[in-house]
Amino acid sequence: MSQYFLNHLGLACALGCDLAQIVDGLFAGDRSRMRTGAPWLEERRGRFGAIEETLPELPETLREYDCRNNRLALLVIRQIESAVAELRENLGARRIGVVMGTSTSGIASGEARLGLADEGGYSYRHQQQMGGLAEFVARYLQLEGPRITVSTACSSSANAFASARRLLAGNVCDAVVVGGVDTLCGMTVKGFHSLSALSAGQTQPFSAARDGINLGEAGAVFVMSREPARIRLCGVAASSDAHHMSAPHPQGRGAEASMRGALADAQLDAADIGYLNLHGTGTAQNDVMEAEAAANVLGGDVPCSSTKPLTGHTLGAAGALEAAFCWLALDRGQLPPHAFDGEYDPALRPLNLFTGVKPPQAPSDVSPPRAPRYAMSNSFAFGGSNCSLILGLQEEY
C-alpha cells in the first residue's frame, strides 16, 4: 500500500511568521499575541488572532491577485518555494498539483470595493472567488498540475488533505502543495457576532466559563508526496451529519464517525493515538459534542488540547494549521498545552487536557506524557462537515 508523506512546511499565524517563533509560542502556550478588538467591532473587548507582521507584496506579474489572503498565501509558500522548485525540475510542472482550503478567500477586498474604500484594481475572479487561491499558488510556483480550492467552512483545509491524497493515489500527481489560508474580514467577524458566538474576552475551550470563540487568521502549506520523510499522513476521513446549518449534532455523531473513519483508514487502534488536537472552539455546543465524541472513540486518557486560544479559530485554515501543530508535536516530541482557566466543565465527558502543568493532586512520581508517535486532529464545520486527520512519525528518519 502506498504511503504519503508531508515533506516540507510553511506556516504563519498569530504566534508569528517565523517557524522558530511559532514553535516557542506553541509549546509555551503563549496567548500574548492575541490582540483585543478588530476594525469591524472595535467596541468589543474580545480577542482576535490577527497577523501583525507586514505581508509581502505580490509580484507585478500577479498583481491582479492582490489581496490580503493571497499576500498571506505568498508569505507561507515562499517558505517551501525552493523545495517546490527542485521538485518541479525533477518531476515536471504538470506532475505537481495544488489543493488549498479557504472559507473567506479575498472577501475583504470585495468589502472594500462595496464600501468605495479602494482605488480600483479589484478583480472578483482573482481576489475573491474561492478558486482564486489555488490558482494564485499554482501560478506563483509555476505549477501546471490540477489546482483545487476546497471550501467546507471550518473543515476546508483538513478536507484538502483528502483531495491531495487522491491525486497521488490516482497517479494524477507525484507531489501536491496542500494547505489552507484564511484572513479576517468584516463578513466573518460580524457574522459570528450576529450568532452571539464570539467570546467577550479570551476563549476558554472546555471551561465551565466558556462563552465563545476568538477568530483568527493563518496560512499553512505542506508538500505531500510519496517521498519518505519524518512525518506521514496516515489516515483521513470525513463525514457529513447535516444536523443543522450552524449547530453540531448534540451527541457528536458526525464527529465520532470522522474520528473512527480516520482510525480505520490508518489501520490504527484508539490506543495508538498519543495526542489529539481538539477542534475546541470554546462554544457551548461544540465542546459538549466533541467531548462526547472524543471520549467515545479514544477514551479519557489520551493527552489532548485545543490550540485555538493561542491563534484564534482560523476557520478555513484551521485544519491545515492544526495539522501543522501535530506535525511539530511529532517532530519535536512535545505536546502543545491547553491554555484556559483550568476549570474544566464537570458537565462534559472527562478529557485528559494537557496543560503543561502537573495537577497539584497528582502523585510525585507521575511522568509527563510520552512523546507521541501518532497524532489526530479534528476539524468540524457548519452544516455538519467533519474531518479528522492522523499524522504519524517515521522513526527511522
154 catalytic residue (yes or no): yes
Q: Note the pLDDT of residue 395.
A: 75
- Please state, for a pLDDT cut of 90, what percent of the chain lies above it: 76
CB 310 within 8 A of CB 372: no
80-102 pLDDT per residue, tens: 999 999 999 999 999 999 999 99
Q: Note the pLDDT of residue 360.
A: 47
Intra-chain end-to-end CA distance of the chain, in Å: 20
What domain range is 387 assigned to? 4-360+372-393
Answer yes or no: is 366 within a domain: no
138-162 pLDDT per residue, tens: 999 999 999 999 999 899 999 999 9
Q: Residue type for 66, please?
A: D
Answer yes or no: is 165 within a domain: yes
Answer yes or no: is 182 within a domain: yes
Given 154, 185, 234, 387, the catalytic residue: 154
Closest CA to 291 of 307, 302, 301, 280: 280
Q: Note the pLDDT of residue 143.
A: 98
Q: Note the pLDDT of residue 362.
A: 45
Three cell numbers written together for 114: 462595496
243 catalytic residue (yes or no): no
Average pLDDT value for the chain? 90
Q: Note the pLDDT of residue 7.
A: 94
Q: Note the pLDDT of residue 215.
A: 96
Query: What is the CATH classification number for the domain harbouring 193?
Result: 3.40.47.10
Answer yes or no: is 388 within a domain: yes
Answer yes or no: is 365 within a domain: no
Q: What is the pTM of this model?
A: 0.93
Minimum mean pLDDT among 13-27, 120-134, 249-263: which range? 120-134
Q: How many domains, the chain?
A: 1
Q: Note the pLDDT of residue 125.
A: 57
312-345 pLDDT per residue, tens: 999 999 999 999 999 999 999 999 999 999 999 9
Given 234, 313, 326, 338, the catalytic residue: 313
Answer yes or no: is 292 within a domain: yes
Average the pLDDT over 295-310 and give the result.
97
39 pLDDT band, cuts 50/70/90, is confident
Q: Note the pLDDT of residue 199.
A: 95
Q: Note the pLDDT of residue 42.
A: 76
Answer yes or no: is 122 within a domain: yes
Q: Dmax over Cα atoms in the chain, in whole Å?
A: 65
CA distance 393 to 397: 9
Q: What is the phi-psi region of residue 319: left when phi exceeds 0, alpha when psi lies from -120 to 50, beta otherwise?
A: alpha
Answer yes or no: is 249 within a domain: yes
Q: Note the pLDDT of residue 117.
A: 47
363 pLDDT band, cuts 50/70/90, is very low
Residues forming beta bridges with residue 10, ordered by sequence position: 221
Given 67, 279, 326, 387, the catalytic residue: 279
Average the pLDDT over 43-70 and give the result.
93
pLDDT above 60 for 359? no
Q: Note the pLDDT of residue 120.
A: 57
CA angle at residue 375 from 130 to 137, to 5 degrees?
A: 25
